[in-house]
Amino acid sequence: MKTLSLPEASIAAALFTALSFSTLLMAQENMKMMDHGDMKKAAPVKTGDLELSGAWARQSFGKAVNSAGFLTIKNTGTSDDMLIGASSTISKKTELHTHIKDGDVMRMRRVKGGIKVPKGGYAELKSGGFHVMFIGLKAPLKSGTTFPVTFKFKNAGDITLKMSVQKKAMPRGSN
Ligand SMILES: [Cu+2]
């Protein structure tokens, strides 16, 4: 059996340390990436018949001045409600938008009237459909942060909850 001389042994040890360290870094990077996924959702808010959950907003990239937010609104009551507006301080304007198909292109439109939250059902604001549009961001939205948004309902009134900013890829022609 060949024994390593002292310099060889220390080189081997250094290599081993460097390798384990990079593996550790990679593992940490994976953890961070997982963190940006669905695990980090804002806490649901329940007010009267409505339960607002899964609220998140897309991290803004580069010099993007707009972003979008999403959530699910459950109505456990016996009458329909309507989401008629949203407001925040992170952007100059906060609007409710929808996507419409214009030929082969998906375009965004401001919601007219409101988004119905049916009794015993739910309304979903999700990528490619209804969303909250933040127009004219005052600062970039960074993943891992949260910010408050107030939702205005026809019957339930104002409900404020925190949206968590997440880093998620943007589907083509969507937001
Ligand atoms: Cu929009």
What does the chain come to in residues? 175
CATH of the domain spanning 45-166: 2.60.40.1890
Instruction: Compute the distance from residue 71 Cα to the ligand 1 centre, in Å.
Output: 14
| Confidence bin at 3 (pLDDT 50/70/90) | low
Closest CA to 48 of 74, 70, 86: 74
How many whole angstroms from 131 Cα to the centroid of ligand 1? 6
pLDDT at residue 76 tops 70: yes
Q: Strand, coil or helix: what is 89?
A: coil
Q: How far is the CA of 114 from the centre of ligand 1 (A)?
A: 14
More confident position, 14 or 64: 64
pLDDT in tens, 122-148: 999 999 899 999 999 999 999 999 999
Bridge-based pairing state of the strands 50-58 and 157-166: parallel
Q: How far is the CA of 101 from the centre of ligand 1 (A)?
A: 13
Centre of ligand 1 from the C-alpha of residue 109, in Å: 7
What are the residue boundaries of the structural domains of the chain, listed by start? 1-35, 45-166
Average pLDDT score over the chain? 83
Q: What is the pLDDT confidence band of residue 167, given thresholds at 50, 70 and 90?
A: very high
Joined tokens for residue 106: 């998906």
Radius of gyration of the chain from Cα atoms? 23
80-92: pLDDT as tens digits: 999 999 999 999 9
Cα 103 to middle of ligand 1, angstroms: 18
pLDDT in the model for residue 114: 97
Q: 13 or 47: whose pLDDT is higher? A: 47
* Mean pLDDT, rounded, for 150-171: 92
How many angstroms does the Cα of residue 30 sit away from the middle of ligand 1? 31
Give CA–CA dist 13/16, Å, rounded.
5
Task: Please enumerate in sequence order all residues whose Cβ is within 8 A of that of 175, keeping only pairs 6 or more positions apart, or say none.
Answer: 58, 66, 67, 68, 108, 127, 131, 133
Strand extents, DSSP E, 118-156? 122-125, 131-137, 146-153
Could you tell me the distance, in angstroms and rounded to a whole number, from the CA of residue 45 to the centre of ligand 1?
24
| Ordered alpha helix ranges (H), the chain | 6-35
